[in-house]
Structure 1
């Protein structure tokens, strides 16, 4: 601490000496003071003392008020000076044109207007030759290619000749404006815009290009700054009137909407006049950016045959993202190039502004990522819908895709939204660490308060991990049964075979009986008479199984053919025969109906009767009457089987 005291004492002594002596201090003392001020320890101590002094109450508010007053005074003065310079615009423009013309003539060149006309005529001539050679093309490339030929021709001639300095600046500015105007016209020609609106947009774009070129060459040609700004104000008034005329004469909306848009345009013009360029461009984006994005999306969609494919999404969404990124970059550049605006003087406003720009880019990237992933999932789901002609392993894999991908898509949407929101909040200056911790605590509280919901979600996760069922499979769980149509995070949707839909929470499913997995063994029974030949019935059943297996429609549905297992039991009225077959899931009922029809037809044709209840009525000759009745029944069945059908 002693050396700090010594330094302070030296500084105090030096300041006192300088204050007491009206003459210049000796050079030796000045050098000593400067050496002490450059010492790192002294600098650190002075900085610590500066930070330790608290700001006086009201300093921040006073500074903000002073900034506002200064900005208001400067804006008022600037507007007054610019409007005072408007009468001098014609004289200054004539003087600048005269200087350019005299310089060109003095160096042996024609006037700038003549040179510009010659370059444009040469470019149009070469462009016309190109059009005659390749023919008319209505695509975007076909419309932009001639403009590129024109620009390349004029650029070659322009850079090949050593023009006078002032003429070179004027030619470059106006040729660039002309090429930019033609590019915009080519883009508008492929956009779905009505002709009256398209014509007015071309006029407005032409005015903007000419105004920018004129403002660019003003300083090199020697126009005073106030005259240049006044000229820009005049161009802006003309542009404002053209835009208002376009709104009123091309829109079919209500007059109230037109009046509101007109008021908004006038407010934007006033904001531009007050040099609040950042706020001006934000208003312009709010007015025209949605239409520009739709137009750019339609134009980009012409470069792909399938907008839902990966390439289509990259082209369409990428084009829109590029437009948004360019708009954000331009807004940041305008904000950077106008440091004297009111918002730039407030560090909080500047930080929020740049944070908002970064947030827009983050949201654009998140949207592009989500659209690419969603497009891939949707294409995979569409491709996995057809499984009839695939091997069982591939069909099972596609069914699992149809089950898991919708859940993955929903979960991914939540993850992307949450991550994008957290990053945006971080860019806006919000401390997300406490927010994440609070969200964790809140999540625990929600978990305790909604145990049933948590149970359903966790049960669903384990059902998916166990691959218990898939979309399209028929299941039964407790009192619920039906075909699985879809999932959410907490429930499964079952379509009953009679039509009703059950939405069952996963926690209520319990044990699941899957009736559509891999294969199905279908068993059924038929009761025949006691006098049936069992071996003959088995052979006939084998014949039926072979016919069903050879059928073009039913054959692929069999895994094992129809067989008779044997005698199941002796019933009251006949012998019960057991049958079985193995088929693909879901088709066993259809195949069983076909088998019933063929078995009945073949059994009756070969004298095998089906048991049926009988009642015996009579006296002493009961046995003879029963036998006669049975014989008559057999003859009747054989006769009906032998009778041909028409």
Structure 2
């Protein structure tokens, strides 16, 4: 086969080069050949040449061929990594020896001594900062010393020209140490138990060490399979630490713990099979919700009012930034692994990128919606307080309280629909026919639900006419009460006795608004026929002046209490008519106060109130009694006489 011939030719070329090379370095050439043969790219090329030379079945499909090749490559990779595990100690020792030799041969101390010295210098500068500044136990107070520590080490590190291998090793492990200390600062500020915090520190420290070790493997000359074997061994340790942490710190039930542990094991297997995109998706599912909550709490600590514009921008913006970084990292991982199974299928790749774009679209839509809702809620809170305002300003705020909830609901529907349509378009769905079908469906729904359409349209025109607002007392047909709120099709009325009416707009008809601008309250009082009308008028004027001067009732008057005059002559007295103009909704309260004062003042000045009386007979009451007695006696005598 071609790949065998290529391999034999490569071996002959290598042996020829070794034979022609000086005898002092034959082992170096052999190591280089072995390293090239262990290179994943060379192995992938050899496998691809093998697949090209092998006979293909005409019935085999492209998808099945990709799956078979991926399975074969994964199996080969796992086998090679397991085979490379025994070589880890020797390769690590060789890399350490090369690094030490590189540093010592140039007159520097060993790398671990340099690392310890830089860390000691950073800790010394950090200790001086803590002694002088005395930072508070807040998140910034914990992060600032770490920044001082990292800055001191960075100045010395970049000021010295280190040997190449020592420079790479120091940079990797110093960066990992700083990242570990930053994680410790965040975990110290988090509201978690010390037991869980300790295990998270151990887990994150192991991750930092593993990443740094994997980063320096190639510059130090560690073979790729050995590097992968080291990563796999460290990942096994990390998996056991994560399993122990879940089982020991979680307060959930055992089935829940078992499910999480199974998920962690599946995630580790996915990572071992080099399915990096799927692996990071699983990591996000496991970690991202808690991370978003933590970032939201930390960002919220910098603002006093999370509902303000600044609070929404900081809190929601921080969460959106975390999601954007996660999506960007996932796209980068996907792009840097072109040989994965999903990358070979254009449908899967299109769905993957469409899903990433959809996540970003949803994040942007949520951010814009939160900004709009925050503004509406703040405006509603301000519009609720209408005290000490001019009537025009109070009416404007009442108008806001009426229209803004409806606008908020309509905006939520618009944002949700638009975001859904854009997401469907990014996922490859043709939204043109969908919109046309939705229009036809809407027409059909409109014909089938004419009452609902009538209610919605009636509500729109009621709002345009400004017929009533939230907080006003209205009456429509048999319904009356205070307007508590709206929906798209109905209004909620709270009766003064407590019941709540939910009335469709189409059922309201003519609306009587009893709370708009001002109200004229009229009432009548019946006094005796001998009442002095002018005196009653003067006393009423005095009552009106007292009510107007009252600090509680005075601001509620628009025009004071006045007696209009004699309304009519009733059966038992003269009916006097009174009127006053007050602010809406307070006329009943003011009328009760006016009744009490009028009664007190009228009685004190000799004006009596009419009472129903009944008079039987004429003026000669005694004569009537004598006549009645005589009639009774005559009747009795006639009854006692015997018949003739």
* TM-score bucket (shorter structure): 0.7 to 0.9
Shift of 1:325: 1.1
C-alpha displacement at 1:210, in angstroms? 0.6
Query: What is the alpha-carbon distance in structure 2 between the residues aligned to residue 519 and residue 244 of structure 1?
Result: 72
Alignment of 1:157-306 (within 5 A): 157-306=156-305
Distance 2:122 2:618 in 1: 124
Deviation at 1:516, TM superposition (A): 0.2
Aligned counterpart, 1:422: 421
Who is 1:156 aligned against? Answer: 155
What SS does structure 1 have at the residue aligned with 2:61?
helix
* Matched residue, 1:518: 517
Q: CA deviation at 1:617?
A: 3.6
Q: Where does 1:62-461 land on structure 2 (aligned, <5 Å)?
A: 62-461=61-460
- TM-score under structure 1 length normalisation: 0.86
Query: How far apart are 1:459 and its partner, in Å?
Result: 0.3
- What's the counterpart of residue 616 of structure 1? 615
Q: What's the CA shift for 1:389? A: 2.1
- Which whole-Å deviations, capped at 9, do the CAs of 1:529-586 have from their partners, x for residues lacking one? 1221111111111111101100111101000000111111111221111111000001
Q: Which moved more, 1:137-146 or 1:484-493?
A: 137-146
* Cα deviation code 1:236-255 (max 9, x no counterpart): 11110110111111112222
Q: Distance in 2 between matches of 1:388 and 1:337?
A: 63
SS of equivalent to 1:275: coil
Task: Report deviation, 1:90.
Answer: 0.7
Task: Identify if the C-alpha distance between structure 1 residues 544 and 120 changes in structure 2 by more than 3 Å, giving closer, same or farther.
Answer: same
SS at match of 1:410: helix
Q: Deviations over 1:91-112 (max 9, x none)?
A: 1111111111111111111111
Distance 2:540 2:619 in 1: 41
Aligned equivalents of 2:386 and 2:162: distance in 1? 72
Give the deviation of 1:621 after TM superposition.
4.5
How many residues are matched?
566
Deviations 1:437-492 (Å, cap 9, x if unpaired)? 11111111101100000000000000001100000000000000000000000000
Deviates more, 1:293-302 or 1:450-459: 293-302
**What secondary structure, in the 3-state scheme, does the structure 2 residue paired with 1:85 have?**
helix
Q: How far is the alpha carbon of 1:620 from its aligned partner?
A: 4.0
Determine helix, strand or coil for the equivalent of 1:110: coil
Give me the whole-angstrom Cα distance separating, in 2, the residues matched to 1:470 and 1:591: 23
Q: Residue 542 of structure 2 aligns to a residue in which SS?
A: helix
User: Aligned partners of 1:60 and 1:166: how far apart in 2?
Assistant: 53
Q: Displacement, 1:208?
A: 0.5
Q: Quick check: 1:541 aligned with 2:540?
A: yes
User: Take 2:577 and 2:620, find their aligned partners in 1: how far apart are those partners?
Assistant: 36
Out of 319-328 and 269-278, give the one that drifted further: 319-328
1:561 equivalent in alignment to 2:554: no
Of the structure 1 ranges 376-385 and 218-227, higher mean CA displacement relative to structure 2 is found in 376-385
Q: How far apart are 1:365 and its partner, in Å?
A: 1.1
1-structure distance, mates of 2:620, 2:169: 132
The 3-state SS of whatever aligns with 2:469 is coil
Alpha-carbon distance in 1 for matches of 2:108, 2:382: 69
Structure 1 unaligned regions, length at least 5:
1-57, 626-646
Moved more, 257-266 or 226-235: 257-266
Shift, 1:61, TM fit: 6.9
CA distance in 1, matches of 2:555, 2:618: 58
Q: CA RMSD of the aligned region, Å?
A: 1.4
